Amino acid sequence: MDLVLMTALGVGGATVIGALLGFAFKKMTHTFSDIMLSFAAGVMLAAAVLGLIMPSLERGYAMFAPAEGGSDWLAKGLALLMTVAGAFAGAVCVNLIDKLVPHLHRLTGVDQEAHPDKTAQLNKVLLFVMAIAIHNLPEGIAAGVGFGMEDVSDALIIAGGIALQNIPEGMVIIGPMLAGGMSHGRTFIIAIMTGVVEVLGTLLGYFAVSISTVILPFALAFAGGTMLYVISDEMIPETHAHGNERGATYALLVGFCVMLAFDLFLG
């Protein structure tokens, strides 16, 4: 449990580290921002596939493994069905949460009547920040669920990959909030809140799997599905919206390969 708590704080704290770096580079260009986010997307993609989706298939197959002489195809089919159902359930869950997100203007501390020119900008910025906070919950759950596996090193690799991509996420939310007129203190508090969400998600995932390891294959796929949804629906479109598509694509590949190296040498 101590390791899980330390991991949760590390994963959430990575967002805070990114936020502190964001204050230092608060006027970063779109190109730099897109490259960093794409790298993070690559890291998340590898973590989702290698650390969550594939283990879900393997553990699902082990659960349905046939007795001697039984149908191997049936076991594989049931394992695949469980993994696919979990992945889609995770994606649908994040999609529904996205639709239910309220506009959080009161968090800004900016007088919108006195600064009407900031209203549209703050709306967009806060929705982006809230999207990151929402997506930090399933990412945290993914880190916590990983500890349901016997091999702790796999869980730490997943958590490390999530923490690694949290740093650029924390960086890119600072500049837009400051540009929208928010104070440094309030901006930092909101950044911390996005990290706290991830800590709670990690603990939630860990306790959910601890209650029943039977749900582990589905839970792993669910967490993987949430991450795949975030990558496709939020991160890739954002990084391809400013004319930096090619650089963003290569950055995604670099991030993916970094996680491949983590998996190979630390797994």
d(C-alpha 243, C-alpha 194), whole Å: 28
* 8 Å CB contact between 147 and 207: no
d(C-alpha 125, C-alpha 180), whole Å: 8
* 8 Å CB contact between 118 and 112: yes
d(C-alpha 50, C-alpha 41), whole Å: 14
Instruction: Quickly count: other Cβ atoms within 10 Å of residue 84's Cβ.
Output: 15
Tell me what pLDDT residue 35 has.
Answer: 87
Tell me what pLDDT residue 96 has.
Answer: 83
Mean pLDDT of the chain, nearest integer: 78
User: What would the pLDDT profile of 184-224 be if each residue is shown by its tens digit?
Assistant: 888 888 888 888 888 888 888 888 777 666 787 888 898 88
Tell me what pLDDT residue 85 has.
Answer: 96
Greater confidence, 70 or 43?
Answer: 43
Q: How confident is the model at residue 26 (pLDDT cuts 50, 70, 90)?
A: low
Question: How many residues are given for the chain?
Answer: 267
* 8 Å CB contact between 181 and 118: yes
Token pair for residue 25? 């580079």
Tell me what pLDDT residue 101 has.
Answer: 57
Sequence-distant (6+) residues with CB within 8 A of 29 are none
For 71, the 3-state DSSP assignment is coil
Q: Average of pLDDT values for 110-132? A: 56
Instruction: Single out the residue of 244, 107, 92 nearest to residue 187, CA to CA.
Output: 107
User: What would the pLDDT profile of 140-182 be if each residue is shown by its tens digit?
Assistant: 777 777 776 666 777 777 787 778 777 877 777 787 777 767 7
